[in-house]
Amino acid sequence: MDEKKRRSLPIMEQVALLPEFKSAATVLLYWSMDDEVYTHEFVRQWYDKKRILLPCVDGDNLLLRQYTGPDSMQPGPQFGIPEPIGRLFTELDKIDMIVVPGVAFDRNRNRMGRGRGFYDRLLKSTPNATKVGVAFRFQLFDSIPVEPFDVPMDQVVSEQ
* Mean pLDDT taken over the chain: 91
For the domain 3-157, what is the CATH superfamily, name and number?
NagB/RpiA/CoA transferase-like (3.40.50.10420)
| Comparison of pLDDT for 112 and 142, the residue scoring more | 142
Residue 78 pLDDT exceeds 80: no
What average pLDDT score do residues 93-113 get? Answer: 94
Q: In the chain, what percentage of residues exceed pLDDT 70?
A: 96
What average pLDDT score do residues 65-80 get? Answer: 86
Residue 58 pLDDT exceeds 90: no
Choose the weakest-confidence range: 12-16, 87-91, 118-122.
118-122
What average pLDDT score do residues 92-98 get? Answer: 96
Asked if 76 contacts 116 with a C-beta cutoff of 8 angstroms, the reply is: no
- Cα separation of 59 and 117, whole Å? 12
Give all strands (DSSP E) within the chain, no chain letters.
26-28, 51-58, 61-66, 73-75, 82-84, 97-100, 104-106, 111-112, 130-134, 140-141, 155-157
Ordered by start, the domain boundaries in the chain are 3-157
User: Per-residue confidence at 60, pLDDT binned at 50, 70, 90?
Assistant: confident
What average pLDDT score do residues 108-121 get? Answer: 82
pLDDT at position 115: 64
